[in-house]
Amino acid sequence: MTVTRFAPSPTGRLHVGNIRTALHSWMLAQRDGGRFVLRIDDTDAERSEERYIDAIRADLAWLGLDADVEVRQSQRFALYQARFDALRAAGRIYPAYETAQELDLKRKILLGRGLPPVYDRAALQLSEAERAQLEADGVRPHWRFKLDHDAPIVWDDLIRGPQQFDPRTMSDPVIRRADGSWLYMLPSAIDDADLGITHVVRGEDHVSNTALQLQMFAAMGVTPPAFAHEALLTGSEGKLSKRLGSLGVDHFREEGIEPQAVIALLARIGTSDPVEPLVDPAPLIAALDFTRFGRAPARFDEAELAQVNARIVHQLPHAAVAGRLPEGMGAAEWEAVRPNLTRVADAGDWWQVIEGPVEAPGADADTRAYLAAAAEAAEAIDWAGDPWHALTDRLKQATGRKGKALFLPLRQALTGRDQGPDMAALLPLIGPTRAVERLRRAAG
């Protein structure tokens, strides 16, 4: 069974970049009838905050990305300790005593010689006595995972294709601090193994972590998950944009963006499939295919999101939006105004137009006479059928007006605006009483 996970660190709000990887992980689990795990990476007690955990849950709920299981790393320390002990006993974890300053100096020396700044494993050269002396001096070690240098690290990435890393060019990663706290790398691999994660979808900034973690899976004797590393997101200007880091669900909601629009856009940008404004994500899920994801950065454009949003709004049924419409606004009113909206919240403006009062622009004598005739005609027509066509047909015959001269004064008098929803849909909702009254008032 396919099991995917989304593993945010609760040190801030989700932004559009991590929403995208969450979405693809969720879609993959949905596509395969599998499970989607939300893993809260809260090993860093100082930087993790409860309010961010709540916000992550709320954001995912708004998007409809429901997790089947939720785990928190801070509740899994006993598991990490057990794996740590086993790996240490097997010689794959070792203590290191350098200070941050010493490590920095070593790095600078190597870089100064034009060499890659790889950790020299000096800690492995310490004798028992030297180690005992350091401990006696009160120096607490941090812990490194010992990479196996014997063979290249290879995997077939679902997006990037065959990948290869030479472990000799990589430092043994620090996996635990001197105070016993855990760094990201090992707990993540332990959890992926323990939770039976079959596919890890994440940003390509994690590619070299994957190389290291593959060795951890091997050291633990478990089959690693498959990996899909997505190209990063760029702003519409084509550059890695700072702004993207602050764009999240709160912003989308403020802008009147529907969750379906976020999903439709993020599902497809950066892939060779077109963005489709679908209210129901099922076809997007069924068509998810990592081989169609590009290696080039995916371009996220807020203007495109707004366009997709408008096309989503035009399809939303009344039941989906009723709670957000003005009191009394029913399905007929919603369907009449929906094609003119870019955001659901703007439906209130048209409700106002239907309910009135409306303020028509001033008109010249000729137009006023025309509107007086319109008021009379509006009293005479049959409102049960198609009153707009009945009214305009009658006025066309009576006045010889056509096109804009026929329609625009009516629209202005009836709605107070030059543009708007189809009058054939709007007029029955305004109804005979209000329509006649508005036409009379505009006729002066």
Q: Report which residue's Cβ sits closest to ligand GLU.
A: 41
The footprint of ligand GLU on this chain (CB under 6 A) covers a number of residues equal to 8
Closer by beta carbon to ligand GLU, 24 or else 338: 24
Tell which residue, 237, 423, 258, has the closest CA to residue 340: 423
Q: In what order do the strands lie in the sheet with 174-176?
A: 93-96, 142-145, 174-176
Candidates 4-12, 101-109, 114-122, 137-145: pick the segment binding ligand GLU (CB under 6 A). 4-12
Tell which residue, 200, 197, 193, 195, has the closest CA to residue 219: 193
Tokens of 196: 């039976």
Taking CB under 6 A as the rule, does residue 9 contact ligand GLU? yes
Question: Cis omega before residue 274 (within 30°)?
Answer: no
Sort strands 161-165 and 153-157 into parallel, antiparallel or unpaired: antiparallel
Residue type, 197: I
Q: How far is the CB of 206 from ligand GLU (least distance, A)?
A: 6
Q: How far is the CB of 232 from ligand GLU (least distance, A)?
A: 12
Q: Which of 4, 20, 41, 160 binds ligand GLU (CB under 6 A)?
A: 41
Candidates 5-13, 105-113, 299-307, 335-343: pick the segment binding ligand GLU (CB under 6 A). 5-13
CB under 8 Å to 241, separation ≥6 — which residues? 234, 235
Closer by beta carbon to ligand GLU, 215 or else 340: 215
CA–CA–CA angle 438, 442, 444 (5° rounding): 125
Find the binding residues for ligand GLU in span 87-126 (CB under 6 A): none
Q: How far is the CB of 35 from ligand GLU (least distance, A)?
A: 16
Closer by beta carbon to ligand GLU, 84 or else 184: 184
Q: How far is the CB of 41 from ligand GLU (least distance, A)?
A: 4
Taking CB under 6 A as the rule, does residue 188 contact ligand GLU? yes
Tokens of 181: 């706290």
Closer by beta carbon to ligand GLU, 48 or else 171: 48
**Nearest-angstrom CA–CA distance, 201 and 34:** 14
Closer by beta carbon to ligand GLU, 183 or else 425: 183
Q: How far is the CB of 31 from ligand GLU (least distance, A)?
A: 19
**Nearest-angstrom CA–CA distance, 97 and 267:** 46
Q: How far is the CB of 202 from ligand GLU (least distance, A)?
A: 4
Closer by beta carbon to ligand GLU, 206 or else 440: 206
Taking CB under 6 A as the rule, does residue 191 contact ligand GLU? no
What mask, x for binding ligand GLU by CB under 6 A, covers residues 193 to 212? Answer: ---------x---x------
Tell which residue, 300, 207, 219, 211, has the closest CA to residue 261: 300
Q: Which of 3, 4, 7, 65 binds ligand GLU (CB under 6 A)?
A: 7
Closer by beta carbon to ligand GLU, 92 or else 202: 202
Q: How far is the CB of 269 from ligand GLU (least distance, A)?
A: 20
Sort strands 199-203 and 174-176 into parallel, antiparallel or unpaired: unpaired
Whether the CB-CB separation of 76 and 191 falls below 8 Å is answered with yes
Distance of CA 281 to the CA centre of its chain: 14
Candidates 1-9, 55-63, 243-251, 282-290: pick the segment binding ligand GLU (CB under 6 A). 1-9
For the four alpha carbons of 11, 12, 17 and 18, in that order, the dihedral sign comes to: positive
Q: How far is the CB of 243 from ligand GLU (least distance, A)?
A: 19
Candidates 6-14, 166-174, 258-266, 360-368: pick the segment binding ligand GLU (CB under 6 A). 6-14
**Nearest-angstrom CA–CA distance, 361 and 195:** 67
Rama region for 99: left / alpha / beta (φ>0; ψ in -120 to 50; rest): beta
Tell which residue, 196, 275, 265, 235, has the closest CA to residue 1: 196
Whether the CB-CB separation of 334 and 325 falls below 8 Å is answered with yes
**Nearest-angstrom CA–CA distance, 48 and 96:** 26
Candidates 7-15, 82-90, 96-104, 421-429: pick the segment binding ligand GLU (CB under 6 A). 7-15
Q: How far is the CB of 142 from ligand GLU (least distance, A)?
A: 20
Closer by beta carbon to ligand GLU, 20 or else 411: 20
Q: Which of 8, 10, 248, 387 binds ligand GLU (CB under 6 A)?
A: 8
Tokens of 191: 């959890």
Can you point out the beta strands (E) in 222-289?
226-230, 233-234
Closer by beta carbon to ligand GLU, 211 or else 442: 211
Closer by beta carbon to ligand GLU, 83 or else 338: 83
Closer by beta carbon to ligand GLU, 202 or else 268: 202
Tokens of 248: 């999240």
Helix (H, G, I), strand (E, B) or coil at 48: coil
Residues that bind ligand GLU (CB under 6 A): 7-9, 41, 184, 188, 202, 206
